[in-house]
């Protein structure tokens, strides 16, 4: 195992109102140790724990890496599908099947080659064992979302407690597609583990509709986590210049992009209204943007004061973002790790109860957070 380095961190507390994120003076210091487990990861995207001793990390360029007993292995996992590693596309998220211990199915989301040099969001699985992925097969390919743009693939995947598979798909940089329910771009989709469309999906069986869609009007969701009490998915998503959001996507609900948004065009003017009848408001928005990616609910007793809080990676503002909620009302925001200045791509709670983070760079790191002694 590589030598462990630690850094003492402090927090900055902010208010988290749904219609305005006003800054507050720092309220408290939360002393946290960030220990480096390994570096040497090339733009890592997702972390999964396939056993207590073996962890896997996706790299956006299309490689799947093993960490065994804390050591990064030299050889990448074989059998990974070909990806479009361009712009924001590549090998993205990863999720072991709920029955992984029995069936060894490892699900991957990725930018799949399509059309004339284009790419689209896809998810599939292979059988994982001892550093090899075999018999990989797609279960869902967003065929209608094929485009040559290299933006906004979404790509987060999640199994809920009933075994349904959720996948986020971005608007592919073509914003109006998020309002077109014949097209899965800009949506959350819900599937059976073999890719079949559940009959109780809100648009299932409707002529001219993409029956896999669960909710729509999303720009580019890159964080997805299961609420520990309700068992429902929550997500974070990128806005443009401002207007990043946290939402709890409900079936058949339109979350507004680009008709309503708290974000603005990168060159200045507003894009749409901030609210309008028929479109759901976010539970929280960040303006200016933090560029959220990766999300986890804290349930571990390793962090007794954080129970039920959401932790989000922040790429643009380079910190770990922690938000407290009372039901669906955001009550407090804390920003951690700001002194490190690192883009945080993924956040996971490990089998040992600690939080683990991936930093996004050509020499990315895996970090473990622990309360200071």
- The catalytic residue positions are 152
Q: Strands 244-247 and 221-226, how do they pair?
A: unpaired
Residue 130, Cβ neighbours under 10 Å: how many? 7
Residue recorded with tokens 């309008």: 276
**Token duo for residue 163:** 């075994």
Distances from the Cα of 161 to the Cα of 338, 347, 371, angstroms: 34, 20, 29
What DSSP letter does each residue of 45-88 carry, written as one string?
A: EEEEESSSSEEEEEETTTEEEEEETTEE-SSPPB-PPP---STT
CA-closest candidate to residue 330, choices 22, 99, 7, 3: 22
Which class for 245: exposed (0-12), middle (13-18), buried (19 or more C-beta within 10 A)?
buried
Please give the distance of CA 337 from its chain centroid, rounded to a whole number: 19
Whether the CB-CB separation of 212 and 195 falls below 8 Å is answered with no
Q: Cα(271)–Cα(16) distance, rounded to whole angstroms?
A: 22
CA-CA-CA-CA torsion sign (76, 77, 83, 86): negative
């Amino acid at each position: 195992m590589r030598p462990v380095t630690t850094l003492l961190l402090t927090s900055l507390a902010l208010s988290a109102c749904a219609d305005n994120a006003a800054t507050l003076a720092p309220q408290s210091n939360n002393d946290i140790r960030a220990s480096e487990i390994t570096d040497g990861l090339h733009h890592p995207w997702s972390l999964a724990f396939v056993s207590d001793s073996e962890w896997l990390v996706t790299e956006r360029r299309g490689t799947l890496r093993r960490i065994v007993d804390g050591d990064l292995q030299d050889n990448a996992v074989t059998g990974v599908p070909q990806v479009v590693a361009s712009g924001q596309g590549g090998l993205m998220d990863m999720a072991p099947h709920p029955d992984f211990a029995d069936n060894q199915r490892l699900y991957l989301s990725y930018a799949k080659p399509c059309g004339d040099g284009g790419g689209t969001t896809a998810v599939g699985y292979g059988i994982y064992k001892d550093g090899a992925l075999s018999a990989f097969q797609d279960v869902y390919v967003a065929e209608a979302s094929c485009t040559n743009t290299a933006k906004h693939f979404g790509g987060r995947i999640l199994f809920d407690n009933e075994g349904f598979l959720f996948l986020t798909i971005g608007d592919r940089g073509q914003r109006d597609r998020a309002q077109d329910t014949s097209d899965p771009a800009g949506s959350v989709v819900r599937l059976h583990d073999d890719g079949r469309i559940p009959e109780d999906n809100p648009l299932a069986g409707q002529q001219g509709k993409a029956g896999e869609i669960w909710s729509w009007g999303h720009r580019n969701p890159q964080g997805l986590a299961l609420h520990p009490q309700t068992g429902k998915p929550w997500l974070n998503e990128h806005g443009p210049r401002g207007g990043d959001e946290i939402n709890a996507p409900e079936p058949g609900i339109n979350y507004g992009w680009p008709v309503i948004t708290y974000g603005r065009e990168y060159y200045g003017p507003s894009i749409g209204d901030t609210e309008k009848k028929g479109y759901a408001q976010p539970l929280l928005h960040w303006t200016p943007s933090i560029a959220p990616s990766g999300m986890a609910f804290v349930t571990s007793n390793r962090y007794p004061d954080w129970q039920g809080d959401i932790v989000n990676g922040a790429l643009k503002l380079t910190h770990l973002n922690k938000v407290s909620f009372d039901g669906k009302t955001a009550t407090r925001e804390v920003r951690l790790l700001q002194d490190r200045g690192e883009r945080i791509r993924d956040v996971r709670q490990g089998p040992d109860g600690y939080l683990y983070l991936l930093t996004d760079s050509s020499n990315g790191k895996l970090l473990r957070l622990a309360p200071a002694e």
